[in-house]
Amino acid sequence: MVDPRGNSPKEIDLETLFAESFSALPPDEVVEKVNPFRRAVNRVLIGMALCTLTLNFWGLNYILPTVGMVLSLLGFRALRRENGCFTACFVLTLLRCVQFFPTIVLNAFPCRDDFIPERVTTTLAQVFFAAQLLGLFCLWLGLRAVQRKANLPPKAGGVLALLVWYAVMYVLALIEYPGLYLPLLLMVIFIVILCRIRKTAKALGEAGYTMHPAPVRVPDLWLAILLAAALVLGCAAGYLFGAQHPMDWHPLEEAETAKTAEIKADLLDLGFPESILSDLAEEDLAACAGALRVDVESKVYSPTLRHEKTSNKRLRITGIAVQVPGENETWVILHHFLWETGPEFFGTDCLQVWPLYQLGPEGWVKGGDVTGRLLYDRDGQTYTAPYYFLGEAIGTDTGFMSLGTTKTDIYAGFSLPREGENRRGYLAYTAFNTKGVYAIISYFNYTHQHTWFQYPATTALKAQMNARASNYMDPFAREMTQFWFVPSQEHLRWPD
């Protein structure tokens, strides 16, 4: 073989040849591929960043932390055999995944609070944070052990700084810190800390430290695919099987007595709607005994914004006021709804009442607890069920001048059956007039879920209690109805 420059093979300078061939170091991407330790640490750091620096749009506040948890799991999985501290990091990351991934799935179950108490999720969140801090402490110890093994001074102060950083952020979240500049400064500090930790891992590689990744049966790519598939299938199960409240439907079996027949006849004479009269339970019918006057107001509404400007209105809401004998002027107020057709989607619904004794002129007093029930017809048989939730609860006021304040209102949460027809229900309460005032006012708000797509999913009851800013905000639409009138003397039947 002859050298192009005329030199014989013996005269070739091997040192010059190698220097020319490897005059530049390979890029970091290549180094990471041949340095498993550096690649694993970088995965952990990127995972921390994605779990912390999230974006609140397009679902990225859930997608990025999910990707971050997967990267952290893969990173510590490779490091778990390097020393005992990295093993602890891997175990703690598994513990966090056991809490995090089911939470992502449960967010697709609108009625998850029906079977998982809120205190359980709160406790798990606290365990998640404790595991995160303990994992950082173990990471600090693990990096120091690796540095000693590589004959480097044990310095991993960046990890301790990160531990303190998370503790400070937790305190700010607890006190609901309202400022903006301090969180922005902390975000910058967070990035600086991650860069410092990355330099620590890079220095280990430059010092010649190498490691053999722990053996695995499932490659990283397949593990990520399996986790993604499990999350997708779990969320699909939530939308398919966890979208409705569990309701206790059973056939309506009420025998009419002479007393109830007499009460019904009196109410019909005063103008009570016959189609609604048969829906009343015995206790609500008995509350109307000896009725003196009946006032009725009925209107058909749109269940969604899409139908608001069309003739396809489906939801009939009727307000009924029945004056009954009493020491003070006494009224039974009924709010009744009927789906004349549809609805198009069956998820969760909610009723909210701003009662007469809250909104009416001073002098109205609460007369008792709210009552009511749900009904529908199928194959000639009427079925009934109690509301899933019925009673007073503290919610956020939706009034224009009082947005953000809280007050106690009447709420009813429920789900309608997919089969059958004439889906309907009502709420009833009693109020006393102690000061001779005349105006009667009672608001009835119906919140309907008209689409399945929502994440995190919630129920109409929670959406109403959290006071959506608009009456139409996907996936819920709210109809606000006002039953407001002054009783007319011409409708009054004087008692004997």
One-character DSSP codes across 294-306: EEEEEEEE-SSGG
What is the rounded distance in angstroms from the CA atom of residue 130 to the CA atom of residue 166? Answer: 11
**DSSP conformational letter for 243:** S
Backbone angles phi, psi at 434, to 5 degrees: -100, -5
The SS3 call for residue 82 is coil
Give residue limits of the domains in the chain.
Answer: 21-241, 250-491
| Angle between helical axes of 157-174 and 181-206 (0-180°, round to 10) | 160
For the segment 463-479, the average pLDDT, to the nearest whole number, is 72
Read off the pLDDT band of 223 (50, 70, 90): very high
Nearest to 318 by CA among 303, 339, 346, 304: 339
> Lowest-pLDDT range, 14-28, 47-61, 165-179, 320-334?
14-28
Backbone angles phi, psi at 180, to 5 degrees: -115, -35
Other CB atoms within 10 Å distance of the CB of residue 87: 17
Q: Which residue has the higher pLDDT, 115 or 18?
A: 115
Label the pairing between strands 389-396 and 421-433: unpaired
What is the rounded distance in angstroms from the CA atom of residue 51 to the CA atom of residue 28? Answer: 24
Amino acid letter for position 301: Y
What's the pLDDT tens digit per position in 360-399? Answer: 567 788 888 899 999 999 998 999 999 999 988 887 655 5
Read off the pLDDT band of 222 (50, 70, 90): very high
Phi/psi zone of residue 55: left (φ > 0), alpha (ψ -120 to 50 degrees), beta? Answer: beta
What's the pLDDT tens digit per position in 248-279? Answer: 999 998 777 888 889 999 999 988 999 999 99
Helix (H) or strand (E) holding 45: helix 36-52
What is the rounded distance in angstroms from the CA atom of residue 50 to the CA atom of residue 42? Answer: 12
Label the pairing between strands 371-378 and 476-485: unpaired
Whether 462 shows a pLDDT value over 70: the answer reads yes
What's the pLDDT tens digit per position in 299-356? Answer: 988 766 554 445 566 889 999 999 998 888 889 999 999 998 878 889 999 999 988 8
For the segment 126-154, the average pLDDT, to the nearest whole number, is 87
Amino acid letter for position 425: G
The SS3 call for residue 77 is helix
CB 395 within 8 A of CB 351: no
- In the chain the first and final C-alpha atoms are separated, in Å, by 131
